[in-house]
Amino acid sequence: MDAYIADFQANFWLYCSIPFISGLIGYVTKVVAIKMMFHPIEFWGIKPFFGWQGIVPRKSVKMATIAVDLMTERLIKPEEIFARLDPKRIAREIETPMMEASEDIVREVMHQYQPGLWEGMPEFMRQAIIKRVKSEAPKIVATIMGEVQHDVSRYFDIRHMVISNLQKDKTLLNEVFQRVGKQELKFFCTAGFYFGFTIGLVQMVCWVIFKQPWMLPAFGGFVGLVSDWLALQMLFRPLNPKKFMGFTIHGLFLKRQNEVASDYAALISKQILTPGIMMEELFTGPKSDRVIQLLQRHVRRVIDEQAGLARPLVLYAVGTERYIQMKATVAERILEKLPDTMKYMENYAEDAMDVRNTLITRMKQLTPTEFEGMLRPAFKEEEWILITVGAVLGFMVGEMQIQFML
């Protein structure tokens, strides 16, 4: 025993460095693990075997699918969102820009199909036609929104909207996880140091007694592996609070469910489920052809109604085929103007849909299992890679330690 004590005193600072280096291994492997979760955004290396892409960007489709499935099943449905909008209020919000756009559309279409008739028409007649069209245009939009509300799934694909936007901007998915889990990721690194330091104390005692070279890389690998595994487990386990030696133990994400719900809802409502993105999906998404058909039908109806008794004369002057083309052109021009015009209703729509508060309320009501299912499943299958990398890095640092200890 005296020999061990004398050896320890002679190499005090060298031996005391062991737990600190072990703690550093625990910390560094966590930092690397976090970097590997989110970076690089695109694959770096030689496909398919040599290289790496961040787990979150690589799993963006799967994560987006899980997110939208949970969102529509447990949090908020498209039908519920659209039902909160008042078509008449939308018509009032877009009335001024829509009326201005309508005047441009009338002049453009008339110059295209009947320039002589339009130029030869008295100004008061031209203004009367423009005025009638301007008064009808917002009503057309209100009618279309009303029909969309009655059959949302026919005209709007929320799965496509969420998945395509998260795929298009993979940094957005990173932002979701990094902002929502900012405290847990910080803990992940800090816990790595403390786990590593604790194991390093055991390593130091074993080295003083046995001085076997293989012990340093073995302990280094063990620190990297165990500290990664423990830290990951502590983020989500236990699902429900449990008492242990007077302490309450609870998964860190789950303990902060209310706070995480607020952060998650704020991001989703500002970056994904926004009125602008939803209107873009409505008018340009995979089901937009149905919206276009709806618009064309209502435009044709309004033009025929405005022509009234003069319709035979209009057909005679313009020609049946050109009259049909003219109605199609009007519908196309209105569709071109709609995205910019609908921006004027975004403030109203954001307040009316109240996506943020709805998500917060519903997320707080999720069971622990459901809440975990929002954040973990998509990269759970890759956790073994992070743990393995931690073990390898720990082993390599342990090998370098040998050079200083021998």
* Distance in angstroms (rounded) separating the CA atoms of residues 358 and 362: 6
Q: What does the pLDDT look like over 298-320, one tens digit per residue?
A: 877 777 776 554 555 555 556 66
Structure tokens, 123? 């100004």
* Distance in angstroms (rounded) separating the CA atoms of residues 77 and 43: 34
Question: What residue has token string 């900012």?
Answer: 182
pLDDT of residue 317: 59
Closest CA to 341 of 100, 161, 84: 100
345 DSSP 8-state letter: G
Q: pLDDT tier at 117 (50, 70, 90 boundaries)?
A: low
Q: What does the pLDDT look like over 7-47, one tens digit per residue?
A: 778 888 888 888 898 888 888 888 888 888 888 888 888 87
To the nearest whole number, what is the mean pLDDT of the chain?
A: 81
Contacting residues for 42 by C-beta, under 8 A, at least 6 apart: 53, 57
Tallying the residues shown for the chain, one arrives at: 406
Structure tokens, 192? 């790595």
Structure tokens, 120? 């030869």
Containing structural domain, residue 218: 2-405
Lowest average pLDDT, out of 19-23, 90-94, 104-108, goes to 104-108
Structure tokens, 99? 């009326």
Other CB atoms within a 10 A radius of the CB of residue 356 amount to: 18
Determine the residue type at 31.
V
* Distance in angstroms (rounded) separating the CA atoms of residues 159 and 173: 15
HSE at residue 130, side-chain half, CA atoms within 13 A, is 19
Based on the structure, what is the number of domains in the chain? Answer: 1
Q: pLDDT tier at 405 (50, 70, 90 boundaries)?
A: low
Lowest average pLDDT, out of 5-14, 107-116, 347-356, goes to 107-116
Q: What does the pLDDT look like over 166-191, one tens digit per residue?
A: 878 878 888 888 888 888 788 878 88
* Distance in angstroms (rounded) separating the CA atoms of residues 168 and 41: 12
Beta bridge partners of 50: 46
Residue 392 Cα distances to 33, 69, 108, 211, angstroms: 12, 37, 69, 22
Other CB atoms within a 10 A radius of the CB of residue 293 amount to: 12
Note if the bond before 40 is cis, omega within 30 degrees: yes
Q: pLDDT tier at 336 (50, 70, 90 boundaries)?
A: confident
pTM: 0.76
> How far does Cα 340 stand from its chain's mean position?
24
